[in-house]
Structure 1
Amino acid sequence: MSAKKILMLVGDFVEDYEAMVPYQALLMTGHHVDAVCPGKKSGDSVRTAIHDFEGDQTYSEKPGHNFAVTADFDSIRPGDYDALVIPGGRAPEYIRLNKTVLEMVRHFDQAGKPIAAICHGAQVLAAAGALKGRTCSAYPAVGPDVTLSGGTYADIPVDQAHVDGNLVTAPAWPAHPQWLAKFLEVLGTKIQT
């Protein structure tokens, strides 16, 4: 396996598990991951939120950890990266308003590079026009975004993931085992057991 260089787009109140777990898992498997946030530089942090499913009509939200940004957003060149990860939480709601974020996503989409998005991360894909003609899972409340952007919403169990070519998506963090395993397959990563 050759290590891949992966870009992760985060922002304040990104979902804690959806940033921390994939970041650490991808590093553990030998990949290089640069986590970036519009307006922030290497060494800055974003605040995270922990979303939990406790029987209410929607998820609950609690303060999470600080998550360190590992590269300067303004110096990122998407062509230097092999794959893209977009965690969920509340960050996608506002980072999708950033023109450079959308241009980055379009680069990965148009180049056919692996893209993994979870939960509300599909909001960024929808805003970039990357879901037209694609099937994508997301947190159920994001289903209309997927549909309105020309995609097909995959309504799957919260612990499952969906693959459509280079695009790997899932509803929320309970899907991490499936979502990350399928993303590693799309990346061509082989794990020895």
Structure 2
Amino acid sequence: MSKKILMLVGDYVEDYEVMVPFQALQMLGCTIDAVCPDKEKNDIVKTAIHDFEGAQTYSEKQGHNFTLNASFKDVNPDNYDALLLPGGRSPEYIRLNERVISLVQYFAKQERPIAAICHGIQILTAANVLEGKECTAYPAIRPDVINANGTWIDCAVDKAHVDGNLVTAPAWPAHPEWLAKFLDVLEIKIEL
């Protein structure tokens, strides 16, 4: 059964964290609507490539342009089975958009699957939907999770964590596990 997933992005979303799940989930027959506040279908968002190169934090380089395939203003959350929140720098400012917050709160209240990675968890903390939930994120987001009354799960950068309908991971090296766990929560089975 095909699932329809809403992906919230903005300029300087992390390149891998938007492109890999967007393409992988489409390959599995899911429909992904990638939208950005104040942008329309066929507009682009710039991406950023974050890497782990031995510094105290990740490095950043300009990535690719990512083309939106739906318009934010047209989103009806009733039409979606799940929500996907990639990281990068975009979560820090799209979480200021009231409609982004209300969409996230809708998915949380409906207990629909939510997958968030890296800084994408900042949108969940701003929406106040982490109370009583366990999650992980990029380590710099730990204070935000704690302040949002969530339970911080410390895990390796290539691991993911599931709490009910919520699937989280620290960064793009966790894609294999994060996406596999998201598929489990979506109840999508792959026959080999």
Q: What is the TM-score of this pair, normalised by structure 1?
A: 0.99
Whole-Å separation in 2 of the counterparts to 1:39 and 1:52: 28
Runs of 4+, deviation exceeding 3 Å:
none
- The aligned counterpart of 2:21 is 22
Structure 2: segments with no counterpart, 5+ residues: none
Whole-Å separation in 1 of the counterparts to 2:61 and 2:152: 28
Counterpart of 1:140, as a letter, is P
- The aligned counterpart of 1:53 is 52
- The aligned counterpart of 1:93 is 92
Whole-Å separation in 2 of the counterparts to 1:183 and 1:34: 17
- The superposition leaves residues 48-101 of structure 1 with CA deviations (integer Å, 9 ceiling, x where unpaired) of 000000000000000100001111101101111000000000000000000000
Aligned residue for 2:128, secondary structure, equals coil
Whole-Å separation in 2 of the counterparts to 1:104 and 1:68: 21
Whole-Å separation in 2 of the counterparts to 1:166 and 1:36: 22
- The aligned counterpart of 1:110 is 109
RMSD: 0.4
Is 1:138 the counterpart of 2:144? The answer is no
Identity level (%): 64
- The aligned counterpart of 1:187 is 186
- The superposition leaves residues 128-177 of structure 1 with CA deviations (integer Å, 9 ceiling, x where unpaired) of 01101101100000011000001011110000000000000000000000
Counterpart of 1:126, as a letter, is T
- The aligned counterpart of 1:73 is 72
Aligned residue for 1:6, secondary structure, equals strand
Whole-Å separation in 1 of the counterparts to 2:78 and 2:106: 8
Aligned residue for 1:112, secondary structure, equals coil
Counterpart of 2:128, as a letter, is G
How many residues are aligned here? 192
Q: C-alpha displacement at 1:192, in angstroms?
A: 1.2
Whole-Å separation in 2 of the counterparts to 1:155 and 1:48: 27
